[in-house]
């Protein structure tokens, strides 16, 4: 499967014919958290159909899509409205989280971790953030101290997506204190090893208990689990940040697109004062603004993706995209709630949930302020014009 339109059509069929009925069968809604065994069924079905690892390069069994094609696929999946849409491509615990590690992992690590993760046999999470190190990610304090053929890890990671159901974590820890980002190393860590505790005592505003803290107390990790060289962990962790930011944008575009489609539907079906609300100019203008904002945001992402595919260095543009897309998508979701009236305020309605989810996206994977910092730095220090 390597043609993007065929792939999108096949994904839509899978989501409509299998994923949505699966959600109904297991009573899965936007809130809460399905059991791991239930999620695993979906991951493995998706893997069997070739969708789970779709975003990987061809050598690793993926479709080998470029950035533009990947953005189109991701937008289509997110806009499907399936609650479990992010699990179809393994975004929360599968191949997209580890694809970039194939080039640095040892043969043993490929066999023990990467292949089982891509086959949906193991679930993975990525653990960088700590209580005192959020935007300032290089300020992490988790320590990894070499002891014979092991490293001993101590520290606490915060807000780790997928941690409640992960088998393996990619943990970033300090191996050389005082060296900043250059003293940070990355490890494959067994989530079931003695010394690892998963503390899941908070729920983010989207209502899904899919995040947790990792508490590591004298956790012994085999030295063979070090990823790449000592001191290379931070660079590895943020190595594909430009592409990753564009891919996050694509998911956000998908949710914004769904907000618009649901709003058009509502505007034609809901009548007040004897006519569909879509006949009031106030509602028409909301829809027109939503469509215009979506078109501009999508055009920006696609332009950046094409330039990335052509080999450009896009640090500034990828930051601009994530900033603009997440801020505008939230505005689109707000208008969608307005058009839905009271119905849009009811817990569990798709636009109500997307409003909360899209609010989160202005903070996750780089806050809007940090993105503005990056853009300004490129403008002022690197001397770039837009
Ligand atoms: C639901 C959820 C899932 C997450 N998943 C993961 C995960 O899987 N793995 C992981 O490692 N992390 C994860 N995170 C952490 C996430 O990446 C951080 O929350 C995010 O980077 C922001 O850090 P912070 O929350 O500590 O905010 P802070 O860094 O404390 O920022 C607070 C405010 O100060 C602003 N600010 C900070 N520094 C500056 C500055 N220099 N200039 C201007 N403004 C500034 C910020 O923009 C923000 O508005 C997740 C978080 C959440 C809530």
Q: What is the CATH number of the domain that holds 192?
A: 2.40.110.10
245 and 369 assigned to the same domain: yes
Cα–Cα distance between 340 and 160 in angstroms, integer? 33
> Within a domain: residue 386?
no
158 and 229 assigned to the same domain: yes
| 204 Cα nearest atom in ligand 1 | 1
Q: In the numeric block, which tokens belong to residue 175?
A: 């191996």
pLDDT of amino acid 34: 92
pLDDT of amino acid 385: 65
252 and 373 assigned to the same domain: yes
| 131 Cα nearest atom in ligand 1 | 26
pLDDT of amino acid 131: 97
Please give the distance, rounded to the nearest whole angstrom, from the Cα atom of residue 370 to the centre of ligand 1: 9
**Structural domain boundaries enclosing 44:** 4-118
Q: Which of 91, 126, 129 to mutate to test the pocket of ligand 1 (most atoms within 8 A of CB)?
A: 129
* Whether the Cβ atoms of residue 206 and residue 358 lie closer than 8 Å to each other: no
Query: Which residue's CA is the closest to the ligand 1 atom numbered 35?
Result: 369
Q: Which residues contact 34 (CB under 8 A, 6 or more apart)?
A: 26, 28, 84
96 and 177 assigned to the same domain: no
Phi, psi of 48 (to 5 degrees): -60, -30
203 and 80 assigned to the same domain: no
279 and 331 assigned to the same domain: yes
pLDDT of amino acid 370: 97
Q: Which of 33, 96, 128, 134 to mutate to test the pocket of ligand 1 (most atoms within 8 A of CB)?
A: 134
pLDDT of amino acid 386: 59
List, chain by chain if needed, residues with CB within 6 Å of any ligand 1 atom: 126-129, 134-135, 159-161, 204, 211, 360, 363-365, 367, 369-370, 373
31 and 81 assigned to the same domain: yes
Last residue of a domain, one of 198, 233, 268: 233
Please give the distance, rounded to the nearest whole angstrom, from the Cα atom of residue 218 to the centre of ligand 1: 27
Query: Which residue's CA is the closest to the ligand 1 atom numbered 25?
Result: 134
Last residue of a domain, one of 206, 233, 260: 233
363 and 260 assigned to the same domain: yes
Please give the distance, rounded to the nearest whole angstrom, from the Cα atom of residue 314 to the centre of ligand 1: 22
| 365 Cα nearest atom in ligand 1 | 17
Q: Which of 164, 367, 368 to mutate to test the pocket of ligand 1 (most atoms within 8 A of CB)?
A: 367
> Within a domain: residue 226?
yes
User: Quick one: which of 235, 278, 237 has its CA closest to 260?
Assistant: 278
94 and 130 assigned to the same domain: no
Last residue of a domain, one of 118, 143, 167: 118
> Within a domain: residue 138?
yes
For the chain, the domain total comes to: 3
pLDDT in tens, the chain (386 residues): 459 999 999 999 999 999 999 999 999 999 888 999 999 999 999 999 999 999 999 999 999 999 999 999 999 999 999 999 999 999 999 999 999 899 999 999 999 999 999 999 999 999 999 999 999 999 999 999 999 999 999 999 999 999 999 999 999 999 999 999 999 999 999 999 999 999 999 999 999 889 999 999 999 999 999 999 999 999 998 877 889 999 999 999 999 999 999 999 999 999 999 999 999 999 999 999 999 999 999 999 999 999 999 998 899 999 999 999 999 999 999 999 999 999 999 999 999 999 999 999 999 989 999 999 999 999 998 777 65
22 and 82 assigned to the same domain: yes
Bridge partners of 143, per DSSP, are: 154, 174
| CATH number of the domain within which 301 lies | 1.20.140.10
pLDDT of amino acid 2: 55
């Amino acid at each position: 499967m390597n043609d993007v339109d065929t792939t999108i059509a096949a994904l839509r069929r899978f989501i409509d014919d299998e994923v949505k009925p699966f959600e109904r069968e297991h009573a899965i809604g936007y809130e809460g958290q399905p059991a791991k065994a239930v999620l695993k069924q979906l991951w493995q079905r998706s893997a069997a159909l070739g969708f789970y690892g779709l975003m990987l390069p061809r050598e690793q069994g993926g479709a080998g899509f470029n950035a533009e094609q990947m953005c189109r696929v991701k937008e289509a999946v997110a806009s499907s409205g399936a609650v479990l849409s992010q699990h179809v491509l393994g975004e929360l615990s599968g191949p997209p989280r580890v694809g970039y590690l194939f080039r640095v992992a040892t043969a043993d690590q490929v066999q023990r971790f990467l292949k089982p993760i891509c086959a949906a046999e193991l679930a993975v999470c990525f653990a960088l953030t700590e209580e005192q190190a959020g935007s300032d990610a290089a300020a992490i304090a988790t320590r990894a101290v070499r002891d014979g053929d092991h490293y001993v890890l101590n520290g606490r990671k915060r807000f780790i997506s997928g941690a409640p159901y992960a088998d393996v974590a990619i943990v970033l820890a300090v191996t050389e204190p005082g060296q900043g980002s250059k003293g940070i190393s990355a490890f494959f860590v067994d989530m079931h090893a003695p010394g690892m505790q998963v503390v899941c005592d908070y729920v983010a505003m989207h209502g899904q208990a899919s995040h947790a803290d990792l508490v590591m107390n004298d956790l012994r990790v085999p030295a063979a689990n070090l990823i790449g060289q000592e001191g290379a962990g931070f660079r590895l962790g943020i190595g594909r940040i430009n592409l990753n930011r564009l891919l996050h944008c694509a998911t956000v575009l998908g949710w914004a697109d769904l907000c618009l489609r649901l709003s058009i539907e509502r505007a034609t079906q809901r009548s007040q004062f004897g006519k569909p609300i879509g006949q009031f100019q106030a509602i028409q203008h909301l829809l027109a603004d939503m469509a215009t904002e979506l078109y501009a945001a999508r055009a920006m992402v696609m332009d950046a993706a094409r330039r990335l595919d052509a080999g450009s260095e896009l640090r500034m543009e990828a930051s601009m995209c994530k900033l603009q897309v997440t801020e505008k998508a939230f505005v689109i979701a707000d208008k969608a709630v307005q058009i839905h009236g009271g119905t849009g305020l009811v817990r569990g309605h798709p636009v109500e949930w997307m409003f909360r989810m899209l609010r989160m996206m202005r903070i996750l994977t780089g806050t809007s302020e940090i993105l503005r910092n990056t853009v300004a730095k490129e403008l002022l220090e690197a001397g770039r014009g837009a």
